[in-house]
């Protein structure tokens, strides 16, 4: 008998009520975890617990996987044609739109991002992503290859089967939609683990998925910890593929578990330390605005954050002055205040981690040009921070901080900055600012990153692929490319006349 979370929002940005079942969602039903334990959900703006949700164990993973397989064999997979899958995904998008404000409010409550960002970006993009993949569902094409007239040779792009999906806490609903969209569009069944830090919108989505009419077992949600549920999923012998977004550290464990179990297919979206290169001939005012968006968007909790800002010496002073002013103007405040730009970091653990990095910057001799401290006394708020006078070997320059901490680095030489930009194990994204298009494009082409932004940063679209080079990941999400993650290619070669 799972419980219900009821909450009344009475805030400047949003007034409304929410009430939903907080159990695990398995085989079309809300249930308690096998051990009947719960996980506390904390509001990072206050540090206080808002509710408890059911906790899944490895045993629940088995139950969900069995339900998913059953659905795959009977009501989903290729038993439900593309037009049918398209219709259900379209219905889900419609329901999300009807409940958009509620979802945005839950996201802000659980994650700490502002209600405004959650409305304008997270939920809007999530709905668009579901709609985008609804449109793909009846367009999964294979090929026919010409061999000779006595042979019919073709490929089927079949759903893989039961896929495990593990999503992070930085964009909970958006990451859920990036995973759910292509997997369901292609006919797979899902066992999903949301982050234990931010399960609320994922749980709320289960009721919408149910209402949309997805057959029981096609989508299953198990809130739980990485070392229990996450490990069980990545090591499961009956899960055919795992998709993970999170830290590189955990990504390695997932890949290892996949290798050691059944060699399941993997896609990984991991960390980054993305460079943002601003040349002398950039539009400085624009570069300032984009650079701020590049590092402070989502409180710096973005895998593709442009966290190393390289500024060519000719404009360095001008840029730094303007960038500092811009950063100072970003209002840190309650997620439900209408003029807040930045809310708290997602958790105490993250808060401590970021503050440790800031301390390391100070210890290693970098200059705190702005910020570098807590904001307020309640909740996990950190002031937007700028470090200067760094050296390449410093931790704050090498490692992913995942907070509102930007490092501004002066450079002279074009060749050298490209070398520095690429001198990282990561390769998720990069940005180049220059008004000389030849220079901009050639630089973009040389940067070892899955996304190279030119005169913009952190712009994403549902139809443009996104993913990492090097240790930032394997595979691509979004666009048509994401479909490849969830289809298995079968070649069918039919002999219709050759005699052996």
Interface residue list for other proteins (CB under 8 A): 82-83, 86-87, 90, 128, 131-132, 134-139, 141, 149-150, 152, 437-438, 441-442, 445, 462-463, 480, 494, 496-497
- Closer CB to other proteins, residue 128 or residue 400? 128
Q: Which residues contact 84 (CB under 8 A, 6 or more apart)?
A: none
Output the smallest distance, CB 181 to other proteins, in A.
12
Of the candidates 351, 175, 298, 345, the residue with the CA atom closest to the CA atom of residue 246: 175
- Closer CB to other proteins, residue 133 or residue 341? 133
Output the smallest distance, CB 160 to other proteins, in A.
22
Can you tell me the distance from the alpha carbon of 257 to that of 246, in angstroms, rounded to the nearest whole number? Answer: 16
CB 302, CB 174: distance < 8 Å: no
Output the smallest distance, CB 157 to other proteins, in A.
13
Q: What counts of helices (H) and strands (E) characterise the chain?
A: 16, 22
Residue 229 is classified by DSSP as I
| Annotation marks residue 256 as catalytic | no
Task: State how far the alpha carbon of 359 is from the alpha carbons of 69, 323, 372, 376, 386, in Å.
Answer: 49, 22, 8, 18, 13
Output the smallest distance, CB 253 to other proteins, in A.
35
Output the smallest distance, CB 141 to other proteins, in A.
7
Output the smallest distance, CB 480 to other proteins, in A.
7
- Closer CB to other proteins, residue 303 or residue 452? 452
- Closer CB to other proteins, residue 37 or residue 143? 143
- Closer CB to other proteins, residue 47 or residue 82? 82
Helices 124-136 and 82-98 cross at an angle (nearest 10°) of: 170
Can you tell me the distance from the alpha carbon of 355 to that of 360, in angstroms, rounded to the nearest whole number? Answer: 9
Q: Which of 269, 414, 415, 480 is catalytic?
A: 269
First-to-final CA distance of the chain: 63
- Closer CB to other proteins, residue 443 or residue 472? 443
Of the candidates 165, 184, 160, 175, the residue with the CA atom closest to the CA atom of residue 234: 165
Which is it for strands 162-166 and 241-245: parallel, antiparallel or unpaired?
Answer: parallel
CB 295, CB 309: distance < 8 Å: yes
* Cβ neighbours of 260 (radius 10 Å): 10
Active site amino acids? 269
């Amino acid at each position: 008998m799972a419980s219900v979370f009821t909450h009344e929002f009475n805030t400047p940005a949003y007034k409304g009520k929410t009430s939903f079942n907080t159990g695990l969602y398995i085989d079309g039903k809300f249930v308690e975890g096998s051990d009947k334990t719960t996980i506390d959900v904390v509001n990072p703006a206050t540090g206080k617990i808002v509710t408890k949700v059911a906790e899944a164990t490895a045993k629940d993973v088995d139950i969900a996987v069995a339900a998913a397989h059953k659905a795959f064999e009977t009501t989903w997979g290729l038993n439900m044609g593309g037009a049918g899958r398209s219709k259900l995904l379209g219905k889900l998008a419609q329901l999300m739109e009807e409940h958009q404000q509620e979802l945005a409010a839950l996201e802000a409550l659980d994650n700490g991002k502002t209600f405004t960002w959650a409305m304008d970006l997270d939920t809007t993009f999530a709905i668009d992503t579901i709609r985008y993949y609804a449109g793909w569902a009846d367009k999964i094409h294979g090929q026919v290859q010409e061999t000779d007239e006595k042979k019919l040779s073709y490929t089927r792009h079949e759903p893989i089967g039961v896929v495990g999906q593990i999503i992070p806490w930085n964009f909970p609903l958006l990451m859920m939609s990036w995973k759910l969209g292509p997997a369901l569009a292609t006919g797979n069944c899902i066992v999903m683990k949301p982050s234990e830090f931010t399960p609320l919108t994922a749980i709320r989505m289960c009721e919408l998925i149910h209402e949309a009419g997805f057959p029981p077992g096609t989508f299953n949600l198990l809130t739980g910890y990485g070392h229990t549920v996450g490990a069980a999923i990545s090591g499961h012998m009956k899960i055919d593929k795992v998709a993970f977004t999170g830290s590189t550290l955990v990504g390695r464990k997932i890949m290892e578990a996949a290798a050691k179990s059944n060699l399941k297919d993997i896609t990984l979206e991991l960390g980054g330390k993305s460079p943002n290169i601003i040349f002398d001939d950039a539009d400085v005012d624009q570069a300032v605005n984009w650079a701020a968006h590049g590092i402070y968007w989502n409180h710096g909790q973005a895998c593709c954050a442009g966290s190393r800002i390289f500024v060519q010496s000719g404009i360095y002073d001008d840029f730094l002055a303007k960038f500092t002013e811009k950063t100072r103007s970003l209002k840190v405040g309650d997620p439900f205040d209408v003029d807040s730009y930045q809310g708290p970091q997602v958790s105490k653990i993250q808060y401590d981690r970021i503050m440790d990095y800031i301390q390391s910057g100070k210890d290693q001799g970098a200059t705190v040009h702005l910020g570098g401290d807590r904001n307020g006394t309640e909740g996990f708020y950190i002031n937007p921070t700028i470090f200067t006078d760094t050296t390449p070997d410093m931790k704050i320059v090498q490692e992913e901080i995942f907070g509102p901490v930007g490092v501004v680095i002066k450079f002279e030489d074009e060749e050298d900055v490209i070398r520095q930009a690429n001198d990282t194990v990561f390769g998720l994204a990069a940005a180049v600012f220059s008004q000389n298009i030849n220079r901009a494009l050639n630089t973009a082409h040389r940067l070892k990153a899955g996304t190279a932004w030119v005169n913009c940063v952190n712009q994403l679209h549902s139809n443009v692929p996104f993913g990492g080079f090097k240790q930032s990941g394997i595979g691509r999400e979004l666009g048509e490319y994401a479909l490849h993650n969830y289809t298995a290619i079968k070649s069918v070669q039919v002999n219709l006349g050759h005699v052996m």
